[in-house]
Structure 1
Amino acid sequence: MQITVTLETLPPRGVLEARWRDLEARANASFYTSWSWIGCWLQVLPANLAPQLLVAHHAGRTVGMGLVIKGKAKLLQIIPVPCWYLHATGLEAVDELTIEYNGFLVERGHDIKVKHAMLDHLLHQTSVGRIEIKLASRQLDMLARQTTQKPAWQAGKNAIVRSTGFTSYMVNLDQVRTSAKGYLSLLSGNTRSQIRRSMAAYKELGELVVEEARTPEQAHAFMAELRKLHGQTWLGRGERSGFSFSPIARQFHDQVIEHGFARGEVQVLRISAGGQDVGYLYNLVHRGHVVYYQSGLRYGVLPKHDRPGLVCHSLAVEHNTQAGHHFYDFAAGNYRYKDSLSTHKEPQHTHVFQRDGVLPRLDRDLRALKSQIRHWREHLRLWRKCTAQSAMSTLLALTPIGLDIDCVSLLQAIPP
């Protein structure tokens, strides 16, 4: 399969949208690599950034595309080096929009070969020997493994890969539909109990209602309330929410609603009890995959069992099950509520590909050593904890037979 890859300046927006939508229809895209995300992202980029279009061609047609921006990264945490960022910038103020399920947009049936060619072009056919792909879908995991496992005789084409893993938590809605006892039966007994008690408490205020925004105007109105509640929650923790207060985030998500709502790709839900707001959820929808993006929750409505998040998400799962979607995705992030409410997990990774060299190798080895030290420290901490618990058990067993032992003082003498 002959693949030609080029790196181009961006064509006019209308031309780019048409080309992107055409390939998107032939690709296994996520919402984050659809034009509904990419087009809005381009609109909020600072003027000093110059994204470039990476294009792969085969047999006279486009089979792969991606947008890259040249930024800066650091080797050994101190040496600045140029870096390509795929659908990202390397700037926190912009990248806190948080792309997930990232990757090259590639025609079905040619995934690995086309992605290899695109990655190879960036690493070996440009002056920039590094590319970072934040929160990539698992389709890129095989590419990362194959790149790492190239034989030594291909030294000129070798790359060093560093991958950081994350977990996405989701509910399989097809499984919910086939469950005789519904969604809650798929969760742990403790989680079921918490949700049911909280729902019963809310129902004392009146009927629990899930309302989905039906117009862009209603979606914007719901989002205004969501931002307010979300911002209040963060201010209560002594922090400012980027989602609620960042001008870039506000402009971006307003654009997502404007461009994606009519396509059925934006879902904003209001959950209420007896007319009182319980919370709002902002979800992104693509090909039956509903990804939870943000929430605004009203705490303090109930004196007991005040769990608006568990209730809102449980009702949203039921709502999307009835709507015929396939997954309700809590996205990446190790939060207890995501684990408690999910039935399924999927990996995502941030991959850093670097052209082989002395400094990248040293960077990789030092990072590996640092990770190993953290691993050893954790093992030592657990060993000390187990030793302390074992000592306590022994002392408690000896105390009844008449030994005068101050257990607490002895345990305090054990190093933390």
Structure 2
Amino acid sequence: MTLSLARVLYYSVLLVVPVSMAGVVYFSERLPDANADSIVQSAQAADRLERLDGASAAKKMWVCPMHPQILQDHPGECPICGMDLVETGAAHDHHSDSMQIDTALQQRLGMRLARVEPRRLTREIHAYGTVGVDEDSVHAINPKIEGWLSKLHVSTVGQRVVAGQLLYEIYSPDLVQRQREYIELLQRRDRLLDGSGGLYGQTAEVAASLARERIRVREKLAYADISVKTIAQIERTYRAVDQVPVYAPQAGYITQIGAREGAYVTPATPLLSLADNATVWIDIALYPDQLEWVQEGDSVKVTFPHSDRPPLHGRLKLALPTIDPATRTARARLVVKNADRLLRPGAYVDVAIATRPRTELAVPRSAVIRTGRGDRVMLVREGGHFMPVPVLTGIESGDFIEIIDGVQEGAQVAVSGQFLLDAAASLSDSVQRMQTSH
């Protein structure tokens, strides 16, 4: 049932008067006769209004079960959700909690209206990031031959190493045998050169064959992680090196140690892992509603809490398309330069992602009424009616807020004075429930 503002104020006063005949008699004994007559006349006037409402209730209307603001006088489908409209017994049932205010009163109250229409919205997503290792720079170090790890020259994960630094020493009988074969080949070459051993006068083909064999054996030693320095030592001393030293192929820091001194290792043993932090990855935690807005290539600004270090800028690179079941977040990635090595893996940073603009239905921010049971707006209906309608809101961009569901494009909502209308509509609904119960 639709109630005017004057009628709602009348019922709000009438709420304090007992509705039973005993209450009327009780107060009439203590009030002047004129006041008692006024109460009786008001009750009669209310009865006449109820009879008029009952007469207008004969007209049937159809309403959407999910969107009560959709009302028409013939069957059909809801233009918002597509559900079939259901028949309601009376036209005023649809406005049971609405308010009717004429144009003159709207002007005196300073009410302003706005349309639900598409607007260009932007969103800056604030999140946190975790500095991680650039996995493209990780270098796995495995022994190239079986043997015993006789000496390990790195002791802890995170230890910084430089290119060419000694990492470990290995003893391998097979590697010692290869060195001896190489030494024997060097001795044959020497005998050929000085004419001893019965090789004097041999053709140049023998010398060429020895040179090819020397190159082949030398490569086999290099593949077994024998450095150029160690090979030069073997060629100079003609003695095999039992404890073969292995050096770092690049600079970085140790991220994994898979064996300790005395362990028997094979080419399948993940002995060491080395990473370079000249570039690092920043993994950003995004919630599903944020993930819908970000795209690969979005501009990202990285700031450092409790630090005066200038911010870093980069482009977003999406990583994992799945949701982490523990944190209910997805992961996006940012690759940044770390030439000064100040970004350490495991550290936290603040991240601001500037998403690309999107066009969505929106209303002014002041039109949305925030309540403990959800958001709603005061929808403008025909005949000066204002009806509270629940809405599902999205992002806030400037002075506007996205409307995901609840009202359709082109609808008008109250921008100012909506809180007064909402309170009056709630009072109107309470009065009608009281009337129904009595």
Smaller-chain TM-score bracket: under 0.3
- TM-score after normalising by structure 2: 0.17
Larger Rg: 2
Greater RCO, 1 or 2 (C-alpha within 8 Å, sep 6+): 2
**Greater helix share, 1 or 2?**
1
- TM-score after normalising by structure 1: 0.18
